[in-house]
A and B are shown apart, each in its own frame.
Chain A
Amino acid sequence: MRKLLFFFSLFVAFSMHSQDYFPTDSGVKTTENTTFAFTNATIYVTHNKVVKKGTLLIKDGKVLSIGKSVKIPSGTKTIDLSGKTIYPSFIEIYSDFGLANSNRQGGQAGFRSRTRQYEATREGYYWNDHIRPETNPISDFKFDSKKAKDLINAGFGVVNTHLNDGIVQGNGLLIALNPNSSDAYRILDTKSAQYLSFNKSSKSNQAYPSSRMGAMALLRQVYNDADWYAKGNMKNKDLSLEAFNANKNLHQIFETSNVLDALRADKVGDEFGVQYTIVGSGKEFERINDIKATNANFIIPINFSAAFDVSNPLLTEHISLGDMRRWNQEPTNLSVLSKNGINFALTTHTLKSINAFHKNIQKAIKYGFDKEKALEALTTIPANILGNSSIGNLNTGSYANFIITSGDVFDPKTTIHENWVQGDKNVINDMNIKDITGDYMLTVNDENYDLSITGKGAKQSGSIKKDGKKVNAKFSFADDWVTITLNEEDKYTRMLGKVINASNVMQGDAFDTKGDKTSWSASKKVAATETKGKPAKKGGKKEKVLTVVPVSYPNIGFGNYTQPKTQTILVKNVTVWTSEDEGILENTDVLLKNGKITKIGKGLSAGGATVIDGTGKHLTAGIIDEHSHIAASSINEGAQNSSAEVTIEDVVDPNDINIYRNISGGTTTSQILHGSANPIGGRSAIIKLKWGENAEEMIYDNSPKFIKFALGENVKQSRSTNGTRFPQTRMGVEQVFIDYFTRAEEYDALKKSGKPYRKDAEMETLAEIINSERYISCHSYVQSEINMLMKVAEKFGFTINTFTHILEGYKVADKMKEHGVGGSTFSDWWAYKYEVNDAIPYNAAIMHDAGVTVAINSDDREMSRRLNQEAAKTVKYGGMTELEAWKMVTINPAKLLHIDDRVGSIKVGKDADVVLWSDHPMSIYAKVEKTIIEGKVFFDRNEDIKKREAIKEERSKLINMMLQEKIGGAKTQTPRKRIDIDFHCDTEI
């Protein structure tokens, strides 16, 4: 109660912050304008400018003066801070402070209705509900005193908050964490920045965008539309675009939750000349070079995952090495970022409890993060990012936001005493509390006890012993009053007394069980006690700095520590499957140099080349998969019947283990196709499976342009239970194409006319198709729809490039030949849905015999690692020759993808993408020995065995470390297994 009263009085004393011009009806008008001087302190004016024994003078919530010799005006309240340190209060730059609750209103956060909603719910705003730049959170803002107290206690003085909802989220508020004041003073900025993310708004069920690539495409379209709107070209009012344009000059802060998304956000920003400040994930160390290349400022969450509880070996097996590593490596993130010269601020926004903030910083410092950088990341950098020079420092004129500490703020032993915000004091650990620690002789009722007091500030506590035995007792110390209750075999003695510091004595009244009053006293034992006074008990929980395991690319099992280099390789005496007219060449040598195939012949001289003996082995071109869904973070943007605006190139995921598994089966190139959720799908990524490299490096240079189309059951939502959109029949599918191509023709004509036009990514793509600059690979099953699409294409004057799946291609092979389209099919899939009722494994052979270029594809991440076997099935079904069968997974798909000038066969001048097989490549007994891409060995059977051993070894090493953590008393988390999504045509994201 006393404490509460104290707080209350403090509150009253400082809550006089009504605006000057407001009438006063509660008494006479008073204005608080005391000048304070803090003297003899070590003062950090900025993170790297320190004044020793300096004076800080503040008035009206601002710094009046600072320095070594500051003249203190008369009437100043002077506070002597000898031995103390002053820092600028920290800035929490990324938060939903005071707005957390409004996020949950109205929407169905975390829960999506089963029925898909295609239309926007609002009028007068952008066509997509997830674009909300008009959001002005001030109307929802409610100062959250509880959260404020937590932040203040942790040393923060200012918080930058926003409503974290939607792809474009509107602007943010910069708030001083001054609980004693009113919003009238606390609000420092109502447009501190504009916020963006890849996440949809919880306030709308509008289905689009359903994928990451959709969100990226949508964002691009917003930039284009905003520009179009700004130029006055739109007939309608669009409050979203107006707001977006108004926010254009604000700082743009983009939230991401993993490294790939950070790179994706940066890519979109760069395209429109916007450099986002990126809210990172804490895992930047995993691709630090790519992060560095963004040149972005980052906001990094200071959050580390707990060790897994690995005491159950069975459960432990489910944890991947990648997840274990992350736990081990995360604490180095800040140090890695800062050593790479990346400019970043820190945020606590992912912390469950802010109490972990200091602990985590201390941990990062132990793992090599520089203290000065830490301070910079909490003060100067966030201030710079927000473009506000009056916070995060104590220069004259800046806000009087500062903390008083007992020493180095990042030292675990340091206490933060006070946090002043806008010149108002917040007491955290009262520095005026007497230090009464020590050993005392306590005397009451003629009995002697040993009283030992330890702890800091208000948390000083005492324990009592008698004749070396512990006595049941309660001890408290507050406001110079000591309260002790002794309990000896249910006989209570209550004592209350004051500390008389000078003589190291405390004394007062004592009441026994009967209520009779006597007196008690305790006097400090001198000397000898000093060393005993600091028991090193805490040592048990002390965190050790663990060995940090190295990062691999990608940072999971089987990742590369160093990337393979282009080698000069001579494969000698090997059976070469050329996939060219030369057919199979026995006992032949192949020289790979500078990433190309440079010589094919007999008895070639090695020169300086690494020689591989190919005796008894087979060398082929790398397998090319025309239809794959590996290495992507999303596959379908199915929330509209056309999604020509999206591209898989945006969402290539170089961390997918399936890349490695595919090269272990001899696949070197894959077309990552959009799924088949809609008639007009998205653009493809054609990638080389260069395991360990990043997304951009994997995507073909000057890649031929492709787009996925789809027909049949999937696009007409035959088995969908969530909503109905046009088309629902094959009849409707045709009209979708005619409609879009008609509009694209009109768009293209307008564009070519030189008149102003609204740039539309979807129409741009479709116009490319009409102009034969982009190829279609169309998911197709039955003959009617195959024939239909060819006729639609002919009507608009272009050719369909590839029908993929094309299971009834054999029924219209003559028409396909005439149209000039190729077919990429499954070897033997059928019977899984109605439209594959007539799918036959002889399809490839019949189409081939009719003169169609035929490939065998996977559409399945498992099959894509053994396409050699699928090619072999065409020998069984339909009697293909082995040479022609082999072409179906090499040169034929290369032709269909228009990369046959670079890959697909063993021919001088082509890329050195080759596979060495232990056996006849179409035999089930064949195993891949080496997979070489551009002269670099990305898969080697022997190296693979070594990697397995290394994984086993590293796992046990990390498991031991985690066991130590648990035994050491650290918190742990339940083991978990990440579910990886098996992407295929129907995957809904």
Chain B
Amino acid sequence: MKKIIYSLLFTFLLGNSIIAQQTPADKQTADYSIEGATAHLGNGEVIENSLIMFSEGKIVFAGSANAKIARRGTVINAKGKHVYPGFIAANASLGLVEIDAVKASDDEDEIGTNNPHIRSLIAYNAESKVVESMRPNGVLMAQITPRGGLISGTSSIVQLDAWNWEDAAIKVDDAIHMNWPGSLSSGRRRFGGDGTLKPDPNYPKSIAGIKTYFSNAKTYLAGNAEKKHLPYEATKGLFDGTQKLFIHVNGQKEITDAITISKELGIEKVVIVKGGDADKVADLLVKYNIPIILERPHRNPSSEDDAYDSTYTIAKILTEKGITVGLGMEGSMERMNTRNLPFYAGTFAAHGLEKEEALKLLTFNNAKILGIDDFAGTLEVGKDATLFISEGDALDMRTNIISNAFIQGRKISLETHQTKLWKRYSNKYKTK
């Protein structure tokens, strides 16, 4: 209670000259111990009555509170609460657009078809009001992904409490993203189309174009071209295995083409993103050991005959096949809805996926797919102390109420533009 009064007071002191964004927390100097909570490690394991300790940004203990071990630093009593690794938003575009409909605030989609050299990181607005609104829901890291074009560009992974993009980066230029062409096309209704999708006669041409592009890039990279070709240069990591190719694709035919063609081209690490029909070609994903970043289940089934819950059950189907399944956020109102990722995972859990498996989508699995599992994604000794405490089940909106969150051991503010307005106006009516 005292805390609340303090924070209210704090808001008052700032008065109307609100600084829109939260001040990033300083580097962890004092240690923390979180005791008594149910710890969801993110790798499927749960420790009841747990003890999590971290120091200098790293987890130094993750085990039972029954352990006879000295508590370090500030002890947070979290009895009855839950501790989670910070959630990772894959395939997100946070900080690239502030307000969807305001063009001047939009930096997500560069012109041109093949833009592997376009880098999202440098446009990432660490001070976005949308970014700070992620944290009270447990989303603490994100893969910032450019949109548009055939090859959209190169993503980087950030943590969500930083002064600037450079400080925010936790993995630079991790992957190149491409949008696989669709094999169906429509005449636009208003211009004489009949409102149906039919096989696109240009699809084979588009596919041939992709093959040509990447094989030309490969040839270029193998030789000593006199003049630099920036886009080709940017694809280097795909061929030497240091970068992954994230292919955003939905249909069965398209997923099959995307996988077989990227294999043909010698691109080693491929991730399927969205994968609306991936359940139907799951065996192919298994065969090539390809992970998938699903999109939100809160969307309509793609065809009339699909079961109402078809978008809810896909995670279970793919997980049971042994595929590494992550969860991302792309499409309508994607930035503001990124904070709902925990509830998307919860929806998968409601529809067949075991709860800790569902949690893995946003933690262990996403970390693994993004290639940051050596320092993030689980509550394990040696990893970043990026974690949060929730009053209850963090995958359920009813109980996802977060009291504390840490990024690299730094205790971050859970205030936002929105909480400030909440307090300001709640108070307006109270004082009346």
| Segment of B6-14, B32-40, B341-349 engaged in the interface with chain A | B341-349
State which residues 262-318 of B face A: CB under 8 Å: 298-301, 303-305, 307-309
How far apart are the CA atoms of A869 and B422 in the complex, in Å?
21
State which residues 794-843 of A face B: CB under 8 Å: 810-811, 813-814, 828-834, 837-838, 840-842
- B254's nearest neighbour on chain A, judged by CB, is A314
> C-beta contact mask, B380-408 vs A, less than 8 Å → 1, else 0?
00000000000000011111110000000
How far apart are the CA atoms of A829 and B332 in the complex, in Å?
11
Question: Are A862 and B300 closer than 8 Å at their CB atoms?
Answer: yes
Question: Are A814 and B340 closer than 8 Å at their CB atoms?
Answer: no
Question: Are A922 and B398 closer than 8 Å at their CB atoms?
Answer: yes
How far apart are the CA atoms of A314 and B253 in the complex, in Å?
7
State which residues 850-899 of A face B: CB under 8 Å: 850, 861-863, 865-866, 869, 872-873, 875-878, 882
| Segment of B72-80, B188-196, B225-233 engaged in the interface with chain A | B188-196
Question: Are B199 and A832 closer than 8 Å at their CB atoms?
Answer: no
Question: Are A977 and B197 closer than 8 Å at their CB atoms?
Answer: yes
Interface membership of B102, Cβ < 8 A: yes
| Segment of B107-115, B164-172, B424-432 engaged in the interface with chain A | B424-432
How far apart are the CA atoms of A955 and B306 in the complex, in Å?
12
Question: Are B191 and A833 closer than 8 Å at their CB atoms?
Answer: no
Question: Are A924 and B184 closer than 8 Å at their CB atoms?
Answer: no
Question: Are B101 and A832 closer than 8 Å at their CB atoms?
Answer: yes
Question: Are A926 and B350 closer than 8 Å at their CB atoms?
Answer: yes
With A831-B130, A924-B397, A924-B398 as contacts: A979 and B196 at CB distance below 8 Å: yes
Question: Are B99 and A833 closer than 8 Å at their CB atoms?
Answer: yes
> C-beta contact mask, A713-747 vs B, less than 8 Å → 1, else 0?
10000110000000000000000000000000000
Question: Are B336 and A832 closer than 8 Å at their CB atoms?
Answer: yes
User: What interface size band does chain A fall in?
Assistant: 35 or more
With A111-B191, A842-B422 as contacts: A830 and B305 at CB distance below 8 Å: no
- Closest Cβ of chain A: how far from B321's Cβ, in Å? 20
Inside 8 A of B184's CB, which chain A residues have their CB?
A: 318, 977
With A112-B190, A862-B299 as contacts: A321 and B305 at CB distance below 8 Å: yes
How far apart are the CA atoms of A713 and B396 in the complex, in Å?
34
How far apart are the CA atoms of A555 and B401 in the complex, in Å?
45
Inside 8 A of B130's CB, which chain A residues have their CB?
A: 831
Inside 8 A of A920's CB, which chain B residues have their CB?
A: 398
How far apart are the CA atoms of A466 and B67 in the complex, in Å?
105
Question: Are A833 and B398 closer than 8 Å at their CB atoms?
Answer: no
How far apart are the CA atoms of A531 and B304 in the complex, in Å?
54
B199: contacting residue among A315, A866, A877, CB under 8 A: A315
> C-beta contact mask, A318-350 vs B, less than 8 Å → 1, else 0?
101110000000000000000000000000000
- A951's nearest neighbour on chain B, judged by CB, is B305
Interface membership of A445, Cβ < 8 A: no
| Segment of A595-603, A656-664, A766-774 engaged in the interface with chain B | A656-664
Inside 8 A of B418's CB, which chain A residues have their CB?
A: 830, 840-842
Question: Are A876 and B397 closer than 8 Å at their CB atoms?
Answer: yes
Interface membership of A272, Cβ < 8 A: no
State which residues 100-145 of A face B: CB under 8 Å: 110-112
How far apart are the CA atoms of A136 and B350 in the complex, in Å?
65
Inside 8 A of B69's CB, which chain A residues have their CB?
A: none
- Closest Cβ of chain A: how far from B363's Cβ, in Å? 17
How far apart are the CA atoms of A866 and B299 in the complex, in Å?
11
Interface membership of B98, Cβ < 8 A: yes
Interface membership of B100, Cβ < 8 A: yes
- Closest Cβ of chain B: how far from A316's Cβ, in Å? 11
Output the residue of B300, B397, B399, B400 with the most chain A CB within 10 A.
Answer: B397
> C-beta contact mask, B354-365 vs A, less than 8 Å → 1, else 0?
000000000000
B395: contacting residue among A863, A876, A924, A927, CB under 8 A: A924
Interface membership of A846, Cβ < 8 A: yes
Question: Are A661 and B101 closer than 8 Å at their CB atoms?
Answer: no
- Closest Cβ of chain B: how far from A174's Cβ, in Å? 32
Interface membership of A317, Cβ < 8 A: yes
- Closest Cβ of chain B: how far from A109's Cβ, in Å? 9
- Closest Cβ of chain A: how far from B221's Cβ, in Å? 34
- B97's nearest neighbour on chain A, judged by CB, is A831
- Closest Cβ of chain A: how far from B353's Cβ, in Å? 11
How far apart are the CA atoms of A665 and B307 in the complex, in Å?
13
With A869-B343, A979-B186 as contacts: A831 and B421 at CB distance below 8 Å: no
Inside 8 A of A558's CB, which chain B residues have their CB?
A: 305
- Closest Cβ of chain B: how far from A663's Cβ, in Å? 9
Question: Are A322 and B304 closer than 8 Å at their CB atoms?
Answer: yes
Inside 8 A of A314's CB, which chain B residues have their CB?
A: 251-253
Interface membership of A423, Cβ < 8 A: no
How far apart are the CA atoms of A110 and B188 in the complex, in Å?
11
Inside 8 A of B19's CB, which chain A residues have their CB?
A: none
Question: Are A811 and B425 closer than 8 Å at their CB atoms?
Answer: yes
Inside 8 A of B198's CB, which chain A residues have their CB?
A: 974-977
State which residues 125-148 of B face A: CB under 8 Å: 129-130
Question: Are B425 and A832 closer than 8 Å at their CB atoms?
Answer: no
Interface membership of A556, Cβ < 8 A: yes
> C-beta contact mask, A602-627 vs B, less than 8 Å → 1, else 0?
00000000000000000000000000
How far apart are the CA atoms of A168 and B106 in the complex, in Å?
46
- A863's nearest neighbour on chain B, judged by CB, is B298
Interface membership of B208, Cβ < 8 A: no
Output the residue of B307, B335, B400, B425 with the most chain A CB within 10 A.
Answer: B425
How far apart are the CA atoms of A618 and B339 in the complex, in Å?
28
Question: Are B300 and A661 closer than 8 Å at their CB atoms?
Answer: yes
- Closest Cβ of chain A: how far from B335's Cβ, in Å? 6
Inside 8 A of B340's CB, which chain A residues have their CB?
A: 828
With A828-B340, A833-B102, A862-B298 as contacts: A980 and B304 at CB distance below 8 Å: yes
With A832-B100, A846-B425, A876-B400 as contacts: A944 and B298 at CB distance below 8 Å: no
- B101's nearest neighbour on chain A, judged by CB, is A833
B333: contacting residue among A318, A832, A849, A850, CB under 8 A: A832
Question: Are A948 and B307 closer than 8 Å at their CB atoms?
Answer: yes
- Closest Cβ of chain B: how far from A115's Cβ, in Å? 14
Interface membership of A925, Cβ < 8 A: yes
Question: Are A317 and B252 closer than 8 Å at their CB atoms?
Answer: yes
How far apart are the CA atoms of A289 and B100 in the complex, in Å?
47
- B332's nearest neighbour on chain A, judged by CB, is A832
Interface membership of A172, Cβ < 8 A: no
With A661-B300, A713-B101, A876-B398 as contacts: A979 and B197 at CB distance below 8 Å: yes
Question: Are B335 and A831 closer than 8 Å at their CB atoms?
Answer: yes
With A833-B101, A872-B398 as contacts: A927 and B350 at CB distance below 8 Å: yes
Interface membership of A557, Cβ < 8 A: yes
How far apart are the CA atoms of A322 and B418 in the complex, in Å?
46
> C-beta contact mask, A635-679 vs B, less than 8 Å → 1, else 0?
000000000000000000000011011001100000000000000
Output the residue of B303, B336, B401 with the most chain A CB within 10 A.
Answer: B303
- B256's nearest neighbour on chain A, judged by CB, is A314
How far apart are the CA atoms of A920 and B298 in the complex, in Å?
20
How far apart are the CA atoms of A811 and B252 in the complex, in Å?
49
- B335's nearest neighbour on chain A, judged by CB, is A831
How far apart are the CA atoms of A655 and B100 in the complex, in Å?
33
- Closest Cβ of chain B: how far from A844's Cβ, in Å? 11
- B196's nearest neighbour on chain A, judged by CB, is A976
With A841-B418, A974-B199 as contacts: A872 and B397 at CB distance below 8 Å: yes
Question: Are A944 and B308 closer than 8 Å at their CB atoms?
Answer: yes
Inside 8 A of A872's CB, which chain B residues have their CB?
A: 396-398
Interface membership of A978, Cβ < 8 A: yes
Interface membership of A982, Cβ < 8 A: yes
Q: Nearest 6 A-B pairs (CB), nearest first?
A: A833-B101, A842-B422, A976-B196, A924-B346, A557-B305, A831-B336
Q: 4 extra interchain contacts, Cβ-Cβ under 8 A, other than A834-B102, A877-B422?
A: A317-B252, A658-B300, A831-B98, A861-B300
A-B contact pairs, 29 of them (CB 8 A): A314-B251, A320-B305, A321-B304, A556-B305, A557-B305, A661-B300, A664-B309, A718-B101, A828-B336, A828-B339, A829-B336, A831-B99, A831-B335, A832-B333, A833-B102, A834-B99, A840-B421, A869-B397, A876-B399, A924-B347, A948-B307, A951-B305, A955-B305, A976-B196, A976-B197, A976-B198, A977-B197, A978-B197, A979-B195
